[in-house]
Amino acid sequence: MMIVDVRKLNASGNWSGRLCFDYEAPAELIDIPFVHFSAPVRVEADYVLCEDDSLEVTGKVSYVLEGQCSRCLKDASQAVEGELSACFRLSPKDAEDYAYSGGRIDLTAAVNDAILASMPRVLSCGENCEGIDYRG
């Protein structure tokens, strides 16, 4: 459920609630070589619809990265959790707000931004990784 219909929320009186869904994030969000999402990204967030029809969404994104350790190239996996915080407005007040029109809000950009903000720079197989042994 990446689309929120503000008109339906207003009509039904659902001015606040919870959103939980899985999202097949694009592989292009990962800039670590030889790493991929092992499963869909899990999004869990609360929303509040304000009187001016702005929608505030706060919660978290969680996902698991799998691939090769960036230091030793062994198989590695890492669970990642990031914060989702977004405000959608008909007329954005600043650069941090997301715009929407037509009474429908697409959460994709905000979720992708939360994934990017939480993405580690490298994938590690663990604290004791010694890297590649070049002594051969």
* pTM greater than 0.85 (yes/no): yes
Residues near 133 by beta carbon (within 8 Å), at least 6 away in sequence: none
Predicted confidence pLDDT, tens digits, the chain (136 residues): 689 999 999 889 889 999 999 999 999 999 999 999 999 999 999 999 998 999 999 999 999 999 999 988 999 999 999 999 999 999 888 888 999 999 999 999 999 999 999 999 999 988 788 776 666 5
By CB atoms closer than 10 A (0-12, 13-18, 19+), residue 63 is buried
Instruction: Give the residue extent of every domain in the chain.
Output: 3-118
Spell out the residues 6+ positions from residue 86 whose beta carbon is closer than 8 angstroms to its own. Answer: 56, 57, 58, 98, 107, 110, 113, 114
